[in-house]
Amino acid sequence: MKHRTFFWFFAPTALAMLIFIAAPIVSVVLQSFFTPHEAVLIEVENCGPFGCQIETTIDQDATAAIRGEKPLGRFVGGSIYLDRGHLATTEVAAAWRGSDSMGAFFDELGDLPFYRAIGFTLVYTFTVTPLLIILGFAIAVGVNSLHKRLKGLAIFFSLLPFIVTPLVGSLIMFWMIDSRGILGSALQWMADDPTLSLKASTSLTWIMLIVYGVWHSAPFAFVVFYAGLQTVPQDTLESAQIDGASRWQQIRYVVLPHLMPLVTFVALIQLMDNFRVFEPIFGFSAQAHATSLSWIIFSDLNGETRQLSAAATTSVLTIIGVAILLMPVLVRTWRDFRGGAH
Amino acid sequence: MFLKKIAIATAVSLMGTTAMAAACPDAGRVSIVGNEFPAIQTIGAGASACTGGSVEVSTNLTADHQTINLPGMISSPAEYTSAIIANSSIVALMNDDVIRPLGDLVAAHGADLKPNQLITINGEVMAVAFMANAQHLVYRADVLAEAGVEVPSTYEEMLAAAEKIRSMGLMDNPVGGAYAAGWNLAQEFNNMYLGHGGEFFAAGSAEPTINNEQGVATLEMMKSLSAYMNPDFLTHDSNATNAEYRAGNVALMNMWGSRAATMTDADGVSDAVKDGFAIAGPMTVAGGDTPASTLWWDGFTVAKNISDEDAEATFMAMVKAIEPAILDDDEIAKQAVWLIDGYEPTEAAVGVFAAANSGTIPYPMLPYMGLMHSALGAELADFMQGKETAEQALADVEAAYITAAKEKGFLN
Amino acid sequence: MASKAQQAPLGLRLATYGFIIAWLILAAFPFIWTLWGSFKVELDFFSIADWTNALTGELTKDTHGSSFTGAGYEGAWVKEEFWRSVINTFLVCFFVVVTSLTLGTLGGYALSRSGHNYVFWLLITALIFRAMPPITLVSGYLPPFFAWNLWGYLPTGIIVLVAINQPFTLWMLHSFFQKIPKELDESAKVDGCTQFQAFRHVIIPVMWPGVITTGLFSFLLAYNDFAVTAMLLAKENQTMVPKIASFLGTTQTEGNVMFAVAAVVSATAPLFILVMFFQRQIVSGLTAGAVKG
């Protein structure tokens, strides 16, 4: 395709992304290098319905003057990236020197918010993504073999985990797995342990979040694979059958290679989405046991005093994390791209 | 009554004797952002009633008000001419200097306001409060009677009562607590820490001072209480805690006064719970005099980046919305513990009144208190699960707070 | 797959059916449970005393005299005017899907038909764009939107949803377009068509499988979005999900959870109709449009 033609085809979508994604990313990166100016604090008397107190407040005039000179704030270089809320280099070094075994070192790391979040995020990403791809593929093959009339119904019900609003979906799931809810009671009965509570134990909470993640996202993989299955070349399949290929061999050597670009696509999207896991942690009130980078951003932005620079820094770290995570898939895409270009 | 006392103590003669009823403005733009609970809906509706002629009133009452009020008031002219906030959240607006002093407006149109409704910061009126709130004891009179224990006035008595109720087999987990990791858990720490006489910061600076004996004692008390709670307490916010109470699983809890009025109204609450429902003031702890609770107010502010006409219109519409006449409606009178002139406390308000009368400390209106609250919410869960010592947890809180405060420019 | 040779042996068929039934139960159970529970009172559905109350409705019977009540629905639809958000949601969804697909098919098609190296880098950039957490993006939009008086309107929300979702749409359509043989449009070009004419007359007729699937995801994204719609839309323009969230209450005040539950069930009903309608497109339409490789 000519450059010119390409440009006109691509311009509308590029424009939308530049304005609404690229520009904010630039401002976020900038923000992660600047912090608000040092506040000039003064003690004043404040009064209200419950009497008067001496309290500290910001001297607005003095602060406004400093702000006027440098509206972006203080340039702090990479120091937010290295502080305790993020990469925590000083604390990590101290932990390394201070702990006598790897176990103790990792315990110390787990006490730092960033590493605690990364720990859960990675476990979540690398269990949920493969499981949901396998499950989604199995469902797609299964549904595809159903009778025509049943397919619509099966598709609808398979989509339900994906379309019931996660906000309330997780509220209801959260209720069902309560030690007195239907699933919680069932588990207690199966484990024969009346004190079993999924919500009070860290490891059970992790398992619960992972199961929820697979359940919630498998329909996505299912729909993509299902649509892909419709385009499997029939004559190749038929000639494979004539050659006496078994059902498994047909899937292995005809269907899977055909779906490979879609598998890559689903893996790419899901690795990224799972790395940014947030909704289940929020919905299941699981933050005592599991946090993620997105959760840290949320809590920085939602406090009564919003921490914009901290949130910006964690966002940049998330993007870098995603880039590292996707490297193998990207290399693969590059090879496909070079291979398919001619 | 505490309000009258304070009114006398802090009386500022801002008002003339010519009392005139609140009136709607003649012209201007009024745009209100605030939370969406019923009392604030009432006020939004009251202000909206002023629409007409060249007066334009719009409201945006949403649970996300805290995220949008600042961006919506920084722009010039501000999208919102008034934000309804509480003593914790006014700080964010003060920090960015987006609200205006109201002295002149109060003098011109504030005849209906009582002096103690005026929130003054450094001598300037920055907000007008209209309702109060506090956490206090909610209990089951029938269960306590059956166990033969008095209504606890201290947390130590609460522990003893809980032990009694449990050992008699009346309830497995008699204590309820909104101990969900995050904002709720941090708020319970604040209550208990103030009850122990603790100070959050060194005077006049943003240096944290919570890693001390009172801090440790606070955490130990919270740990002891949690032993009598449902094992999932770290996921129980105030909604979940209320549900436990309604289901009859809980006999003692520290709960928001704003929820007392509707506590047993929900469909399907059993008669035992309805009849046994009772409230009392907040408890003290460790022999202290200060109740382990905090006082809260909700009030309105007026934006800085708007024309003086719009500011006047906004102020008038808001004062009209909280005029004493609204209390004639019984439903509205029940919606909150109003600070409005002529409010007669209902039965559901006795807890909040007791809190105010017994010297409960207001939630600190400090620029950096929000950072401390977030740090507490994030770092205390490990201690509650028994993964850390109290000292270690408090050291983590301080470290997390210092990082955030440095970044926001409150500490060097 | 209807030929005799393809007929699966009985054991395998049973295993497949067993698996699909197990999955369908797993997928649908929470929803069916919600549907059933939406006719109960809160203390029954979220019953702490005994979970079987959610089935039998003990307390619902005490309160309303029968073990089913439509109180949640009445509250959500009549008292809280849930229908307004339903209208908003469908406006948002419709325009998001149409705009996303228009931009996305043009872009995705171009990416799939150009062999230059920058195509790869564009795809990678789009992917990196998608890595940006939406909450950060939304909080970044607030100041300029308020300053330019764009905040709160449906078109603003729609444009933002379209833009945020473009990387996904591009990638998805790019993979689908790649599976459409290049010979198709190239031979059209040999016959004297411009690139756009080739796209218009040759590609559009065969691209529907991918477009419908991508459209379905654009639709679901707009339908389920919370971060953008809660923060960027004014109260009267809010879609269903933030409206449902507002039924849940906050720390200091009570919500009405049963309104939320009834609203969730109501929100899923139109999707049921939609998917039933789409299944014919997906099942038969897709197969008919499929390309023989």
- Sorted by where each starts, the structural domains of chain C and their CATH numbers stand as 9-74 (no CATH), 82-289 (1.10.3720.10)
Of A85, A174, A285, the CB nearest to B403: A85
Spatial CA neighbour of B104 closest among B308, B322, B317: B308
Residue A194: half-sphere exposure toward Cβ, Cα within 13 Å: 1
How much is the pLDDT for B186?
A: 96
Question: Residue B283 pLDDT > 80, yes or no?
Answer: yes
For the cut 80, the answer to whether the pLDDT of residue C293 exceeds it is no
Of chain B, the end-to-end C-alpha distance in Å amounts to: 44
- Assess B378–C contact: CB distance below 8 Å, yes or no: no
Residue B66 token pair: 């805290």
Q: Do C41 and B239 touch (CB under 8 A)?
A: no
- Dist CA B88 CA B369 (whole Å): 8
Each residue's pLDDT tens digit, C45-64: 877 767 777 788 777 887 77
And the tokens for B150?
């008095």
Q: How confident is the model at residue C102 (pLDDT cuts 50, 70, 90)?
A: very high
Q: What pLDDT was estimated at residue C291?
A: 37
Q: Give the lowest-confidence range in A70-74, B356-360, B407-411.
A: A70-74
The dihedrals phi and psi of A56, each to the nearest 5 degrees, come to -95, 140
Instruction: For residue C206, give every residue at least 6 positions away whose Cβ sits within 8 Å of its Cβ, in sequence order, or none.
Output: C180, C184, C289, C291
Nearest chain B CA: its distance from C147 CA (Å): 5
Between chains, do B258 and C252 touch, taking CB under 8 Å as contact?
yes
B178 at A interface, C-beta within 8 A: no
User: Is there a shared CATH topology between the B2-133+295-360 domain and the B135-293+363-407 domain?
Assistant: yes
Q: What pLDDT, on a 0 to 100 scale, did the predictor assign at position A340?
A: 59
Instruction: Provide the Cα torsion C139, C144, C149, C155; round to 10°.
Output: -60
pLDDT surpassing 90 at residue B194:
yes
CA B258 to CA B40: how far, in whole Å?
A: 12
Q: Find the mean pLDDT for residues C191-207.
A: 86
Which CA distances in Å does B240 have to A180, A330, B179?
Answer: 13, 45, 10
Per-residue pLDDT band at C290 (split at 50, 70, 90) = very low
Residues of C in contact with A20 (CB under 8 A): 137, 141, 159-160, 163-164
C64 chain-B contacts, CB cut-off 8 A: 267
Partners of A28 on chain C (C-beta within 8 Å) are 132, 136, 140
- Higher-confidence residue of B4 and A110: namely A110
Contacting subunits of B (3+ beta carbon pairs below 8 A):
A, C
Name the pLDDT band for C2 (thresholds 50, 70, 90).
very low
ipTM of the complex: 0.89
Q: Tell me the shortest Cα–Cα distance from B161 to chain C, in angstroms.
A: 22
Domains of chain A, with CATH numbers?
79-111 (no CATH), 113-132+168-210+227-340 (1.10.3720.10)
**For A218-231, how does the pLDDT look when each residue is reduced to its tens digit (9 = 90+)?**
998 998 888 788 77
Q: B10-14, B185-189, B377-381: which has the minimum mean pLDDT? A: B10-14
Tell me whether residues A84 and B88 touch, CB distance under 8 A: no
CATH of domain B135-293+363-407: 3.40.190.10
Give the Cα separation of B70 and B66 in Å (integer).
7
Mark which residues 206-235 of B lie under 8 Å from A by CB.
206, 231-232, 234-235
Instruction: Report d(CA C124, CA A323) in Å as an integer.
Output: 9
CA B339, B342, B346, B350 dihedral sign is positive
Distance between CA atoms of A169 and A181, rounded to whole angstroms?
A: 15
Q: Across all residues in chain A, what is the average pLDDT?
A: 87
The answer, yes or no, to whether residue C286 has pLDDT greater than 80, is: no
Identify the closest residue of chain C to A20 by CA–CA distance: C163
The domain over range B2-133+295-360 is classified in CATH as 3.90.1150.10: no
Rounded to whole angstroms, the maximal C-alpha distance in chain C is 78
pLDDT of residue A200: 86
| Contact criterion met (CB < 8 Å) for B204 and A53 | no
Yes or no: say if C114 and C122 are a contact pair by the CB < 8 Å rule: no
Contact call for C268 and A315, based on CB within 8 A: no
Residues from chain B contacting residue A48 (CB–CB below 8 Å): 87, 116, 118-120, 129, 297, 362, 365
Asked if C143 and B75 come within 8 Å (Cβ–Cβ), the reply is yes
What phi and psi, each to the nearest 5 degrees, are found at residue B17? -85, -15
Say if B258 is an interface residue toward chain C (CB within 8 Å).
yes
Q: Is A167 on the interface with B (CB under 8 A)?
A: no
pLDDT at B14 exceeding the cut of 60: no
Scanning A86-115 for CB atoms below 8 A from C yields: none
User: Quick check: A190 contacting B, CB < 8 Å?
Assistant: no
Dist CA A89 CA A110 (whole Å): 14
Please report where in the chains the tokens 């390309």 appear, as a residue: C291
Asked if B172 reaches chain C (Cβ–Cβ under 8 Å), the answer is no
**What is the pLDDT confidence band of residue B301, given thresholds at 50, 70 and 90?**
very high
pLDDT in tens, B381-399: 999 999 999 999 999 999 9
- Asked if A58 and B374 come within 8 Å (Cβ–Cβ), the reply is no
Do B66 and A197 lie within an 8 Å CB cutoff?
A: no
pLDDT above 90 for B100: yes
pLDDT reported for residue B9 = 41
Look at residue A337 in the predicted model and tell me its pLDDT: 72
How close does chain B come to A47, measured CA to CA in Å? 5
Q: Rounded mean pLDDT of chain B?
A: 90
Are B150 and B157 a contacting pair, CB within 8 Å? yes
Beta-carbon separation of B374 and A202 below 8 A: no
Among residues A160, A163, A168, the alpha carbon closest in space to that of C29 is found at: A160
Residues 266..295 of A with a Cβ closer than 8 Å to B: which? 284-289
Q: What residues does each domain of chain B span?
A: 2-133+295-360, 135-293+363-407
Nearest CA of chain A to the CA of C255: how many Å?
Answer: 13
**How far off is chain A from C259, nearest CA to CA, in Å?**
11
Question: Does residue B119 sit at the A interface (CB-CB below 8 Å)?
Answer: yes
Q: Which residues contact A7 (CB under 8 A, 6 or more apart)?
A: none
C179 has pLDDT over 90: no
Regions in chain A scoring below 70 on pLDDT: 168, 340-342
* Chain C hits for B178, Cβ within 8 Å: 251
Q: Does C222 touch chain A (CB under 8 A)?
A: no
Closest residue on chain A to B85 (Cα)? A304
The answer on pLDDT for B17 being more than 50 is no
Q: How far apart (Å, rounded) are the C-alpha atoms in residues A139 and B51?
A: 57
**H helix intervals, chain C:** 10-37, 42-45, 53-56, 58-64, 71-74, 82-113, 117-131, 134-147, 154-178, 182-190, 195-198, 204-206, 208-224, 227-232, 240-246, 257-280, 286-289
Q: Inspect the interface and report whether the beta carbons of C252 and B238 lie closer than 8 Å.
A: yes
Mean pLDDT of B167-191: 94
Pair B339, B114: CB distance under 8 Å:
yes
Is the separation of the CB atoms in B61 and B41 below 8 Å? yes
Backbone angles phi, psi at B58, to 5 degrees: -135, 150
Q: Which residues of B touch C231 (CB under 8 A)?
A: 64, 67-68
Provide the token pair at A151: 């397919």
Question: Which residues of C make CB contacts under 8 Å with B?
Answer: 41-44, 46-49, 59-60, 62-64, 71, 139, 142-143, 145-147, 149, 151-152, 230-231, 234-235, 242, 245-246, 248-255, 257
Structure confidence at residue A135 (pLDDT): 96
B68 contacts C142? CB cut-off 8 A: yes
Interval A77-132: pLDDT, tens: 889 999 999 999 999 999 999 888 888 899 888 889 999 999 999 999 999 999 99
**Contact C43/B268, CB-based, under 8 Å?**
yes
Measured from the Cβ of residue B95, the count of other Cβ atoms closer than 10 Å reads 23
Lowest mean pLDDT among B110-114, B264-268, B357-361: B264-268
Q: Residue C158: is its pLDDT beyond 90? A: yes
Q: Which residue(s) pair with A322 in the sheet?
A: none
- How far apart (Å, rounded) are the C-alpha atoms in residues B257 and C253? 10
Count CB-CB contacts under 10 A for residue A68. 8
Q: Supply the pLDDT for residue C289.
A: 38
* C-alpha to C-alpha distances, B243 to A124, B98, B240, B281, C53, nearest whole angstrom: 31, 39, 5, 21, 15
- Residues of chain C contacting B84 with CB distance shorter than 8 Å: none
Q: Which of A209, A206, A211, A187 is nearest to A197 (CA)?
A: A187
B118-156 pLDDT, tens per residue?
Answer: 999 988 999 999 999 999 999 999 999 999 999 999 999
In chain C, what is the straight-line distance between the N-terminal and C-terminal CA atoms, in Å?
A: 16
Q: Do A21 and C164 touch (CB under 8 A)?
A: yes
Minimal-distance CA residue of chain B relative to C250: B63
- Which range has highest mean pLDDT (A85-94, B9-18, C229-238)? A85-94
Q: How many angstroms separate the CA of residue C92 from the nearest CA in chain A?
A: 16
Which of the other chains make 3 or more beta carbon contacts under 8 angstroms with chain C? A, B
pLDDT at B395: 95
Burial B252-266 (b: 16+ CB within 10 A, else e): bbbbbbbbbbebbeb
Distance CA A184, CA A177 (A): 4
Q: Looking at the partner chain, which of C42, C44, C230 has a beta carbon nearest the beta carbon of B64? A: C230
How far away is chain B from the Cα of A302, in angstroms, using its nearest Cα?
7
Q: Do C136 and A311 touch (CB under 8 A)?
A: yes
Residues of chain A positioned with their CB less than 8 A from the CB of B402: 84
- Among B91, B82, B35, residue whose Cα is nearest residue B363: B91
The residue-averaged pLDDT of B225-237 equals 92
> Residues of C with CB below 8 A from B269's CB?
43
pLDDT for the residue C3: 46
Q: Can you tell me which residue has the tokens 């519409």?
A: B317
| Closest CA in chain C for residue A143 | C20
